[in-house]
């Protein structure tokens, strides 16, 4: 298992690449979903006024 | 017969371009899109990180390919989608085309950024440098700036129609950069390795390495579809909030 994480000496390079990609893609998904939710909530509030 | 098929297709096209219908269909597609993305991502990650053998020259360092290459492909693919939708918007004034273009830009910029950063991280151990000003890297950097310019230009203009038009023109001018990125490794001398996948008759990459790469590429494509569907729905709600279908939808929440 530790051999897997060591990536033949390239651990820092490999895992930082995957980590940055994961963070950037997660942020995209998160902000898109949150925007959709907040628009729906805002329209709902406007409607009930 | 031929005529009715064409008529049916045209009808479908018109139906899809109707905001209420698109909103509904997109909402139903998103869950499937998420599931397929997750499966492809899992296959790609396990295949790429566990089952693919270490490269005979680069050892395990080559595994960066599974995020780098799909990101680079997507950065170009999304730009082309934006350019095509920009042309449709300019010629036929179809609002939905502008919405799709606008909804793609941030993720496109993200992929260009990822291609540059993971390429840089890959370059350090293999080439001995984080960055060189060669044609491939410079044209990809230009692509990131085109995305940022597109996003900035649109957000600087308040009038939605004018913003759409200005963005569309910028996107179409910038599309000249896409073939430059693709052929840069052929036209100019560089440290960057040439294409090894797109030579389909004789791909110079082993199947156990190729399958996870294609799986990751498809996963990224499906992920983009998920995002563009979600963003387009948000955009439609904003633009159509005074229309009956949105009011009805909100009332039923």
What distance in Å separates residue B169's CA from the closest CA in chain A? 25
User: Is ipTM over 0.90?
Assistant: yes
Could you give the number of structural domains in chain A? Answer: 1
Torsion of CA B36, B42, B47, B48, to 10 degrees: 100
Domain ranges of chain B: 32-251
Residue A34 domain-assigned?
A: yes
| A3-25 per-position pLDDT tens digit | 898 899 899 999 999 999 999 99
Task: Give 10-residue mean pLDDT values along chain B (253 residues).
Answer: 67 77 95 98 96 90 96 98 97 94 98 98 93 92 98 96 97 96 85 71 77 97 98 95 92 87
Q: Is B203 left (phi over 0), alpha (psi -120 to 50) or beta?
A: beta
Which site among A29, A32, A38 would you substitute to test the B interface, given the most B Cβ atoms closer than 10 Å to its Cβ?
Answer: A32
Distance, CA of B120 to CA of B129 (rounded, Å): 8
pLDDT at B97: 95
Question: pTM value?
Answer: 0.92
CB distance B208 to B51 below 8 Å: yes
Residue of B nearest to A38 (CA): B234
Q: Which residue has the higher pLDDT, A2 or B178?
A: B178
pLDDT at B2: 55
């Amino acid at each position: 298992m530790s051999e897997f994480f060591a990536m033949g000496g390239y651990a820092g390079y490999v895992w930082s690449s995957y980590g940055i990609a994961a963070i950037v893609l997660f942020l995209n998904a998160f902000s898109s979903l949150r925007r959709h939710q907040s628009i729906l909530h805002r329209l709902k509030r406007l409607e009930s006024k | 017969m031929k005529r009715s098929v064409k008529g049916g297709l045209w009808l479908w096209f018109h139906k899809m371009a109707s905001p209420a219908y698109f909103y509904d269909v997109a909402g139903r597609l998103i869950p499937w899109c998420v599931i397929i993305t997750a499966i492809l991502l899992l296959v790609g990650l396990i295949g790429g990180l566990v089952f693919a053998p270490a490269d005979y020259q680069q050892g395990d360092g080559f595994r960066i390919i599974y995020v780098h290459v799909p990101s680079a492909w997507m950065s170009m693919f999304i730009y082309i989608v934006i350019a095509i939708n920009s042309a449709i918007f300019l010629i036929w004034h179809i609002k939905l085309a502008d919405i799709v273009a606008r909804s793609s830009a941030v993720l496109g910029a993200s992929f260009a950024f990822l291609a540059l950063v993971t390429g840089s991280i890959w370059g350090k151990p293999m080439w001995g440098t984080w960055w060189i000003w060669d044609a491939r890297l410079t044209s990809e950097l230009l692509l990131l700036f085109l995305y940022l310019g597109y996003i900035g230009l649109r957000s600087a203009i308040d009038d939605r129609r004018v913003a759409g038009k200005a963005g569309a023109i910028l996107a179409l001018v910038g599309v000249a950069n896409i073939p430059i990125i693709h052929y840069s490794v052929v036209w100019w001398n560089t440290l960057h390795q040439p294409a090894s996948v797109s030579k389909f008759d004789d791909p110079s990459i082993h199947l156990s390495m190729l399958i996870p790469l294609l799986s990751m590429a498809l996963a990224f494509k499906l992920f983009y579809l998920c995002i563009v569907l979600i963003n387009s729905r948000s955009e439609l709600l904003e633009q159509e909030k005074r229309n009956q279908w949105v009011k009805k939808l909100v009332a039923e929440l």
